[in-house]
Every structure is written in C-alpha cells, then in structure tokens.
Structure 1
C-alpha cells in the first residue's frame, strides 16, 4: 500500500523548524477517502471525523455521477496548509485539482475513445491503482478490466471486496465473494458504483490507454511476479502457486 501522509513543517530562514503552520500535507496515490479525511483531521489538529462531516459544507464541484461522494476525486498530491486552513478548503482544493486533471483534453478524449465517461475512467483507474503491483503492470490490469467488460464477465477484483469490507488484504475467501454489496465484483456485473480509492496520474493513463492484449486473468504470485494470461487453466496453476506460497509463509511464522 501507499505510504503515510505527512504534514511537513516549513523551515525558517535560520534553519529552525517552525512549529506553526504553514505546512504541507502529502496525500499518496491510492488512498481511500477515509484515509484522506483522517490525515486532514490530524494535520489540522481536529477531532476525528471533522473532515468527513465537513463534506456537505464544502460544496464540492463533483460530477453528477459522484452523487456527492468525493471518492476518486481527492487528488493525490502535496498540498500547502495555510495558517487558518479548514477541511472545506482542503477538500475543495483536492477536488478542483482532480477536475482540472481529469477533464483535460488527454483524459477526457481518452475516456470518450473507449466509450466511457470520465467518472467511469476514474473508477477503472482506482481499481488499477489498487490492483497493480508496479507501474509496468498498470496497463495490463486495465486491459484485463476492459476485456472482461467487453465479454460480459464479472470483474472479480479482490480490491473491490476489500473496499466493501474496509480492509486491505491479499487473502479472499469464498464467503467474502458472497457478501451483499454493490462493490462485490464477483457477483455484480460491470464497474462498482464509485471509485474505490483516489488514483494517480499513471493509473489514469493506464485506464484510458491500455496496451493491446487478450489477458483475462492475473495474480501476483510473489512481489515483482504478476502473471497475466487468457488461459483459465494456466491462471489456476498460478493461483495454486500463490496459495502454496501463502501457506508456506504462514507456517514459517
């Protein structure tokens, strides 16, 4: 997962650390909205839950499809914290940054070229951000998503289940795949109703311009070894190898 958000105090001319703001808040790629809210609360020394409660007051300029939910539009970047910064100001800046990035010609045109709107592209990018272990894998993960959608196959992405269950794990059980949730991409067809995190620029690029390929399945057998295939039997062998490695690592602990 991405690293920790950091509020960075600025230095004075004398080189001494200035305790008061201004400072900067770093939001990593792939963070969920809840993580962003917690980071803003901490950076502004507010009670937990303050930033989430501020969403209605912020009057965020989100697309209609978002229905007021900023997930996917809290753009990962480094934000300056003015002396009297408020959650509403920070949320608005993040969303405005995302809108500017996403509605620009390259992404908007890329989404249209793939017969989808920008919100759908952001949703795909959020899955890519969560699923791809490396930058090099992002395009292939996006292609798997497109190939499955085009064939009328469920996405079957563990990342959407993790979002529904508010967790991060490599292990998905059979009971997990049976949960009643619109984010259960094992049972529900198409994309989840919202993005599942806040994707960065590379994930967005992958979502609008994935490489050609026939891949339908992938699994990260071990760090740095994600295997993509169009053959289900081969995928099953890869999954079996992944499961064997997980069992051996568990036994060794």
Structure 2
C-alpha cells in the first residue's frame, strides 16, 4: 500500500495531507485507502458510491473501476470520499476523453471504455513500461484471431487476489472475468491504468506475438510460436520451484 503524504500539526502528530493512488490499483484498494486516510470505518467509501454522481461512461454502469485515475490527490479542507472519488474520475475523464486517446481508440476500432479496459490489462500484465506496447499487441492479436485472451490478471481480478500462480482449476471458474473461457474483453477494466498503459493500449507495438511470459525479472519473452512459449513457461516454472525450495531451506 502506498503511504499517504503526511504533515505535522502543532502537537507533533502526523496528519495526512494527500492521498497517493498508484498505477494499477483496483477500485477496492482505492476505497480502502480512502477509508484509511480519512479515518473512516472500513467500507464507508464503497458505500458512498450510491450517493455520488460520478461522470462515468454508460458502459461502466456506475462502476468506477478503470476511472479512479492514479495520481496524488490533496485532501484539502473537509475531505470526503465523495470529493476524492469525484476528483479521480474527473482526472480520468480529462486524460481519456481528449483527442489523442479518443482518436487512438477509434484507430483501433475501439470505444474509449474498451481502450481503458485493455490498458488495465496491460497495466496488470506488463512487467516493465517497455513491455506495455508488446502486451497490448498480444491482446489485439488474440482478439483479431478470435482467441480467448487467457490473461491470468483477469482470473486474479475475479478471485480478488494477486498471484503469479494460476492453476487449471482457477481457469475453470464461472466468472465473466474468466478470459480463459470467455471470448473478448472482460466486462469492465480490471484496475486503474496510468498514462503509459493507456498510451500502449492505443499504440500497440508492431509484432505477431500471441504469447508472453516473464520468466524472471527483466526477462519477458514474447513469441508467436506455441511450442517456444511452452518451453518458456517450463523455464518459469523451474525457476519458481527452485526459488520456493531455497525459501523453504532458509527457514
């Protein structure tokens, strides 16, 4: 969790002055951080959605996932969940509805909400900023070929977790976010993407890749060849198993 920016009052106690929303946070993480920074009971911010009129696209159906823009938000005087959520959505709209994003989405036969959804997957899947445009290309290539996206990040979103280990059982869950079984994009974004992920979503790198796996930090391998991808996944699994054994031995 990112730590809110603090200032010290006259009595020497630290009081938060701003809330930092990192790129890739899910709405649930944002709600929890707002509750914490405003010292409110858990669940208060989520409940406040019912009484705040956020300017979301019709496709969102009132769900702000993807539109709680990552940035630093000053708390100001008398901060409320409603004020903070409104500021986040207003900032997202300024970023997403401008000419560059709108034109980029149209260029790729998408509406803006679909582009935000792709950006959210890119944000969750790409190991580095340099990989983002390649991950976006994999998504487009799979969509164009009528292949399921098969993105572990959508499974993690459905299960409310973050992990590198997706089991065969996980890929069979009954959820609209199960991109192993459901075709096309998930029904909503799966996180709140930043500018870099959004840029990648509307400017995917040229390439024929259909598969990728981050074998180890700094080593993400993209390929159009399934057999090569299987070898890469096998290497990833070996490295994970080796790391797990070392961790057990060190206990």
The question of a shared fold, defined as TM-score above 0.5 by the shorter chain, is answered with yes
2:2 to 2, 5, 9: 5
Q: Partner of 1:63 in structure 2? A: 57
Question: Which residue of 71, 80, 87 maps to 1:77?
Answer: 71
Question: Equivalent residue of 2:153, what SS?
Answer: helix
**What is the TM-score of this pair, normalised by structure 1?**
0.95
Q: Summarize the alignment of residues 70-149 of structure 1 with structure 2, pairs less than 5 Å apart.
A: 70-149=64-143
Q: State how 1:208-227 maps to structure 2 within 5 Å.
A: 208-227=202-221
1: CA distance, partners of 2:177 / 2:15: 41
Alignment: residue pair count = 247
- Tell whether 2:154 aligns with 1:157: no
1:229 matched to 2:223:
yes
Pairwise mapping of residues 37-48 of structure 1 onto structure 2 (< 5 A)?
A: 37-48=31-42
CA–CA distance in structure 2, aligned partners of residues 9 and 213 of structure 1: 45
Residues 9 and 18 of structure 1 are in contact (CA less than 8 Å); yes or no, is this contact kept in structure 2? no
Query: What RMSD, in angstroms, separates the aligned Cα atoms of the two structures?
Result: 1.4
Consecutive unaligned residues in structure 2, runs of 5 or more = none
| Aligned-partner SS, 1:167 | coil
Consecutive unaligned residues of structure 1, counting only runs of 5 or more, are none
User: In 1, Cα distance between the equivalents of 2:8 and 2:100?
Assistant: 37
Does the 8 Å CA contact 1:132/1:138 hold for their aligned counterparts?
yes
2:48 pairs, out of 51, 54, 57, with: 54
